[in-house]
Chain A
Amino acid sequence: MPASSGMAGQPSTEYRIKAAFLYNFTSFVTWPDDPAGASGFTLCVLGDDPFGNLLDKLAGKSVNGTQLVIRRLGSLALLDQCKLVFISETSDDQIGGALALLHELPVLTVSDTRGFTERGGIIEFRIIANKVRFDINLNAAESAGLGISSKLLSLATRFRQND
């Protein structure tokens, strides 16, 4: 599986695309207003970072009028501070806990772990015909209070609703 080949050193083409997708998602998803008024848009990676330094290149870019901040988390402790969480495959065992923790919190959860959306994750990367695609769990997004653009929905290979 090429998905794991990017684990060491240089990130693979797949993860270059996925990194870009992560950033692009922010344009098609709307977050509710943050009452805490937290400064910056925090993009977190839970577990091993398969993107190498790609995400660092994105840091400082503008998202919804605020600056993008990258955080790599080893535990679930600060997970609720994130706006977007990428849960890497290596944290498979942590997915259940993370999703439980983030239940109904306005955090966009993304992972390339198979069955992520079935388990309550919002976006799951998939490889179809050698191309990076994604599924969306619309119910999960709605219960998290996130708005997904129809444009994004139209690109999803599948999206789960009212199951």
Chain B
Amino acid sequence: MTGFAYHRPSSLDDALAALAEPGSLPIGGGSDLLAGIEEGHAAPTRVVELERIPELATITTQADGGVRIGGGVGIALLAEAPELSAFPVLRAACTAVGSPALRAMGTLGGNLAQRQRCWYFRSRVGCFKHGGTGCAAVDGEHVYHAIFASGTCHAAHPSDPAVALLVLDARVEVRSVRGTRMLDIEALYEGAAENVRSETVLAGDEVIVAVHLDAAARDGAQHWEKLTQRGAFDLALVSCAGVRRTDGSVRIALGGVAAGPWRAPHSVEEDIASGGLDEESIEALAARATYDATPLAGNAYKVQMAEAAIRRAAKTIAN
């Protein structure tokens, strides 16, 4: 690991100004960035600490029941935050992250912006994100990779909270010295399979200031499941988040299957929302949900897992 400067900003503006200078990278808990520096695919000359900036470190419940989560809030905190009791799917997804140590260090912003854990990417070999051509995983070892291809990269995004945030229709508040913009969580990962420098659309000087949850996403029926090999410290082979809102509408999303969190087709969600499903129709709609899957030679099992996860989600939130 090569050395870098450590900047503890006095304010958010100070942090943004620091990040506007080339060579600076934001750091939350550092659990991904420091590994990236050690592995040689991140080389900041300066890291800018975000965790202690008040705007980033707090969870605020709005008057209408919506919640604003600072990007620097720790995953462990979120997993038990009373402010999120109406969003159990997010708490469950945060509880599912890594291990106690990683949850203690990791922040929400850092978790959403973490890099892919593909072993070719991490080894810096056979990966277009490291100056190679194409994706070595396609004809190589890809048991953990994506089954919904959206571009050159076949890695599956590692974030658990992103999957929960997708079914909560969360919006991401992004800021830089150039201003503030609001992104749907889906838009945050647009082009993840083609972007070289990042899996998000964040520019180099932008940080995730907050994640916003609308009051309309509170309560209803919420479901979370993460399928892993081990009992802890594993990325999702497949994860599934599902909600039935109080207005009856349904959202289903999967993790571990695409370059970003993956949303089920609307027709599938609508069918679950319509209710009155028997075993057979649940099986049919789960199969329909994965109809567009393009698994590689060695990871078709994820399609089976995804269908099982969707069936279970449909059953728990249908009632």
Partners in one complex: no
Residues of A at under 8 Å CB distance from B?
none
